[in-house]
Chains A and B, each alone.
Chain A
Amino acid sequence: MSKHVVVIGGGVAGLEAAGWLAKAGFDVSLVEKEETTGGHINNWFKLFPDRRVSGEVKKYLDGISINDRVKLLTGTTLTEFSRNSDHFRLITNHGKELKADAVIVATGFDLFNSARKEEYGYGIYDNVISSADLEKMFRNGLITMADGNVPKKIGMVHCVGSRDEKVGNLFCSKLCCVTAVKQAIEIKENIPESKVFCFYMDMRMGGAHYEELYREAQEKWGVSFIRGKVSEAGETINHRIVVKVEDTLAGRPLKMELDLLVLMAGMEMSKDGRRVAELAGLRTGDNRYFAPEDHHFGANVSNIEGVFYAGTCTAPMNITETISHSRAAVAEVTEYLKSGLD
């Protein structure tokens, strides 16, 4: 008999954790609320910084997580979470009881709902879309305005829902800058005659190859970067978008008309993550993400013995970091249970 670990969440973090738990000899139940696994990766077309097709990552994750040791429970959420002496007792929405020796929480993130920044007009003006909407267009191979025409002048607003006290998110989502750069390049590839403008507060290009991608966007694709946060977007009578921004480097206010405005939505603790936190009594931080016990040595460790965190349920992370974080969670489980065997 192998020891049994429940993984909550079937996105990148959960699938990676499940795969590595299986490799280590544990039996795994993977709980996923949707009917399919993969999470956000299913909504993205190509990934930064190397423009890998996201389907490749899904294929890799399926490759390590689909096996006899991993039991996949899709369309499943948890209704009860309790601990009885040496094991956890979880009840699913289908009334099924799961007995677990350890639990990995991998509930991921929610994309910030851009409509909450009402001044940008998402859901009000037809030609204001989110970064996720743009990915959908990339997947369909057709970038259009609401009237079906091809946009020639596109603006990208950084930090929508991040670094913004007004929406209660003080943190930096850290992936939106590089996503904007990647998407700006993709727009230029699709519509070579277009002009693309990125409105940013700071360019946070901290990851491997991000800065090089930024440079490529300027040098090869002629993307313009304007330092200043857009204060508001309005609409002209012919449905073009007017943005107001301070060009902080020129020290002057600036206005510009655009065909399409793309809002770079940030990451937030997921709603389902918050539900799990409440259900299990897991500690969350001021940023609403799960609060690991130690930022340096216990990034996977929760306040409940035997429950560990993997991925973006603790902080914004890219896929590379998520995968490393998940493997570290598996190492914590292995140490906690000593070995996969009873």
Chain B
Amino acid sequence: MEKFGYTISKIRQIDYDSNDRSIADYIASGEPSFLKCIECGCCSATCTTGNFTRFSLRELNILIKRGENTQVRNNIRKCMFCGKCILVCPRGVNTRNVIALAKQAFQKAELYAV
């Protein structure tokens, strides 16, 4: 069949009400400091992974809170757990634990989905 190059663009809008934010709830209950993030980006600035790949913990924080889980799941594996982000966080967020819990939450979600 002839390809005309037309595609259907996926909507970029975050549909807050339809999104599943159970991952965020799971992290917040296990690591309450997660809620204190003010999105300053200090963690991403110091992040070794972030300096070599498209990985931003700050962005992941937001996406988790909005329930944009697919993007988070694909990205979160890149973290090497060095913990530099914890050292620089001005709000005292235990960022490493946030990632650990996020991974855990995804694992559980996948387990139950099967």
Contacts and interface: CB of A to CB of B under 8 A. Distances in A.
B76 interface: no
Given A249-B59, A255-B14, A222 B38 contact: no
Given A253-B13, A254-B13, A247 B35 contact: no
A247 B14 contact: yes
A235 interface: no
A218 B37 CA distance: 8
Between B28, B33, B66, the greatest number of chain A beta carbons within 10 A of the residue's beta carbon is seen for B66
A3 interface: no
A219 interface: yes
A247 B68 CA distance: 12
Nearest to A214: B38
B14 A224 contact: no
Given A247-B66, A249-B58, A215 B91 contact: yes
Given A247-B62, A249-B62, A227 B39 contact: yes
Contact of A254 (B14, B32, B36): B14
A222 B28 contact: yes
Contacts of B38: 203, 218, 225
Interface residues of B, number: 22
A62 interface: no
A253 B16 CA distance: 10
Interface in B7-39: 12-17, 28, 32-33, 35-39
B39 A253 contact: no
A250 interface: yes
A254 B14 CA distance: 4
DSSP majority for the A interface? strand
A218 B35 contact: yes
A250 B62 CA distance: 6
Nearest to B68: A250
Contacts of B63: 250
Contacts of B28: 222
Given A255-B13, A256-B17, A250 B32 contact: no
B14 A219 contact: no
Interface in A193-226: 203, 215, 218-219, 222, 224-225
Given A215-B91, A247-B66, A252 B39 contact: no
A264 B33 CA distance: 28
B13 A250 contact: no
Nearest to A222: B35
A218 B38 CA distance: 9
Contacts of A255: 13-16
A272 interface: no
Nearest to B65: A224
B98 to A, nearest CB: 14
A253 B14 contact: yes
A252 B12 CA distance: 6
Interface string B30-61: 00110111110000000000000000001100
B36 A215 contact: yes
Given A215-B91, A218-B35, A218-B38, 14 more contacts: A215-B36, A218-B37, A219-B32, A219-B35, A247-B14, A247-B62, A249-B58, A250-B62, A250-B68, A252-B13, A253-B12, A253-B14, A254-B14, A255-B14
18 contacts: A215-B36, A215-B91, A218-B37, A218-B38, A219-B32, A219-B33, A219-B35, A219-B36, A222-B35, A227-B39, A247-B14, A249-B59, A249-B62, A250-B63, A250-B68, A255-B15, A256-B16, A257-B17
Interface of A: 203, 215, 218-219, 222, 224-225, 227, 247, 249-257
Which 3 interchain pairs have the tightest Cβ spacing? A254-B14, A256-B16, A250-B62
